[in-house]
Structure 1
């Protein structure tokens, strides 16, 4: 993976850090960027070790679920496609038809946007 791609992932994954991709590529080697990304993910995972129980997920609004996901909290409970005639697929996570699944521990910004848009909903 190219330095700029790693830098873009860092910027996308950690928007609250105020990183700029071009500046990251200027200031760091590819190896340093990989280490930084790993360190940031480890820090986030240590903070996130709280899981929202299923009963609480049922009471959350879509905006509250999206906010929890953006903050890096793990949301337990099944989710499904709002329209079972559609599908959603990305690396490591797929929903098809009537299928229900838990969201991944580290959902991508693309997946979070699908929840925000109502394309993926609580089951």
Structure 2
């Protein structure tokens, strides 16, 4: 039974891998949409350029489309927008500098909290055993 399950998992993983390889590179529209979803609208509160109805978001979408049609790389377009607006335009903070702290602080706080709760439970269990003795 376990061997059959492993074979099924490996077969599914292989099919997914091959399907992904055969899908080819993303279309220009898909590249534009992915980039627009990563960028914050400069005039909206936390809304991506792709989802914003504002005039500046429409301008950025048109600029992204024209740049992609001219053959520019999405990473280069994003770098230009970051140079213009700063890291603020990225919906996800970068994995460097202060952004690195933003990414690591929540898991670190969770780990510290779990350790403190674990210690407290361990101490309560020890206190209970000492009272019984």
Give the TM bin, normalised by the shorter chain: under 0.3
Larger strand percent: 1
* TM-score of the superposed pair, with normalisation by structure 2: 0.25
* TM-score of the superposed pair, with normalisation by structure 1: 0.26
- Between structure 1 and structure 2, the one with the greater Rg is 2
